[in-house]
Amino acid sequence: MSRRRRARRRAGLAASIAIVIAVVVAVSAVAGQRSSRHRQTAAAAPTAGPRQPQAVLRPVRPAAPRARRVNEAAFGYIPYVELAGSRRREVALTFDDGPSAYTPQVLRILRRMRAAATFFLIGRFAQTYPQLVAKEAAEGFEVGDHTETHPFLSALSPGAQETQIVQAAEAIHRGGAPYPRLMRPPYGAFDHSTLEILRARRMVMVLWSADTKDYSRPGVARIIYTAVSGAQRGAIVLMHDGGGDRSQTVAALPRIIIRLRQRGFRLVTIARLLREDPPPANQPPPAPLSGR
């Protein structure tokens, strides 16, 4: 082999060794950077302590009050609701004439059974029990207006009607609930002036499609039967948590919730009913449920 060929071979071998060394150095540098980043991350992370016991799952509360506001688009064509649409198997439980000493019992049942509901409050009782107004709102239940003193609105002048509605709404708001956008006329009594007042204030009048007549204390079994048999798509069930002895209503409520769910109904608020399955835009004018 000539000296020239041996020199070329030695040069090639040296070049190959240099390339290998360069690759090893580069790989080591990258690994060092990754190790450094890992050490920094580990240092930043808190030191793991003893393993904590698994958290206890608690019942999910109803949605926050802000999520229960009536859909603003509904106010353009829904002056009232008595029975919502029929596309969904949804029913709204409603309670009138509170708050009262029976309201905490009703709230405990609803909360324990994860059931939504809407409460229509009398203004003077909202002033007596502001802590219950705040509790209903804080726990995600919907709060509506049921006038200041529970009169027959159709027997009042337009000015007196507006005073009844506004005073109750302000008492509810002062108690800690959002300013009500729903109003239920006591006894289902109203007239054209009532609807005009509500339209001007962008409120919806809420009637009902199933009346349990629990105010007359017909017995627990009868209250359950009336509520469940009156259930249909979009139904609004009327009950009471105030205005007298409501122990029968409290006793009936768990069975009502269970049986409605067994029949495939989901319990929702009035706002959700209007948002998800409103009544038809061409529904006929409302008729007073009191006959007055």
pLDDT tens, per residue, the chain with 292 residues: 455 555 555 555 555 555 545 544 444 444 444 444 444 433 333 333 333 333 333 333 444 444 344 445 455 568 999 999 999 999 999 999 999 999 999 999 999 999 999 999 999 999 999 999 999 999 999 999 999 999 999 999 999 999 999 999 999 999 999 999 999 999 999 999 999 999 999 999 999 999 999 999 999 999 999 999 999 999 999 999 999 999 999 999 999 999 999 999 999 999 999 999 999 888 889 999 875 5
For residue 240, being part of any structural domain is answered with yes
Residue type at 151 in one-letter notation = P
* Active-site option among 96, 97, 145, 241: 96
> Active site includes 96?
yes
For residue 68, being part of any structural domain is answered with no
For residue 38, being part of any structural domain is answered with no
Question: What's the whole-model pTM score?
Answer: 0.76
For residue 103, being part of any structural domain is answered with yes
For residue 107, being part of any structural domain is answered with yes
DSSP 3-state assignment of 55? coil
CA 256 to centroid of chain Cα atoms: 20
Residue 253 CB-half CA count within 13 A: 29
For residue 85, being part of any structural domain is answered with yes
Q: What is the CATH number of the domain that holds 257?
A: 3.20.20.370
Task: Compute how many other C-beta atoms are within 10 angstroms of the C-beta atom of residue 248.
Answer: 20
For residue 5, being part of any structural domain is answered with no
DSSP assignment letter at 211 = E
Torsion angle of the four alpha carbons 140, 145, 148, 152, in this order, in degrees rounded to the nearest 10: -140
Label residues 107-121 b or e (16+ Cβ within 10 Å = b).
bebbeeeebbbbbbb
In the numeric block, the tokens 């229960």 are attached to: 68
* Active-site option among 97, 145, 150, 240: 240
Instruction: Please give the residue range of the domain that contains residue 179.
Output: 80-276
For residues 235 and 91, is the Cβ–Cβ distance under 8 A?
Answer: yes
For residue 172, being part of any structural domain is answered with yes
Q: Please tell me the distance from the alpha carbon of residue 88 to that of residue 63, in angstroms, as a whole number.
A: 19
| DSSP string across 129-180 | -HHHHHHHHHTT-EEEE--SS---GGGS-HHHHHHHHHHHHHHHHHHTSPPP
Peptide bond into 99 cis (omega under 30): yes
- How many structural domains is the chain composed of? 1
Q: Please tell me the distance from the alpha carbon of residue 103 to that of residue 292, in angstroms, as a whole number.
A: 29
> Active site includes 240?
yes
